[in-house]
């Protein structure tokens, strides 16, 4: 079989059997988090691996505050951004 015949056979087998190269997929994130709320701030602590940030839900404010995204693979504590008056909740957002 010549080169053209081999190439045609490979292309035909790919079309016939649907052979494709495997694609890379992201591993599922495995985080277990707990949060704490104080008077104007708080914190979140996550164990496991993943990318996440902390959202401070502030009262008497037009917007919530956010920390930078962090990527962790062990137990990590991130302090919430302070609110001017009071904080209502601390929420972990996973990317």
Task: Note the pLDDT tens digit of each residue in 84-95.
Answer: 889 999 999 999
Residues, the chain: 95
pLDDT digits (tens, 9 = 90+) for 6-41: 545 445 443 444 444 344 444 455 899 999 999 999
pTM summary value: 0.66
């Amino acid at each position: 079989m010549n080169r053209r015949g081999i190439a045609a056979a490979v292309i035909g087998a790919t079309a016939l059997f649907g052979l494709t190269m495997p694609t890379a997929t992201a591993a599922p994130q495995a985080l277990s988090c707990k949060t704490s709320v104080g008077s104007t701030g708080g914190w979140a602590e996550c164990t496991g691996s993943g990318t996440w940030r902390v959202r401070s839900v502030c009262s008497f404010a037009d917007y919530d505050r956010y920390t930078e995204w962090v990527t962790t693979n062990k137990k990590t504590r991130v302090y919430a951004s302070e609110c001017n008056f009071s904080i209502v909740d601390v929420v972990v957002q996973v990317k």
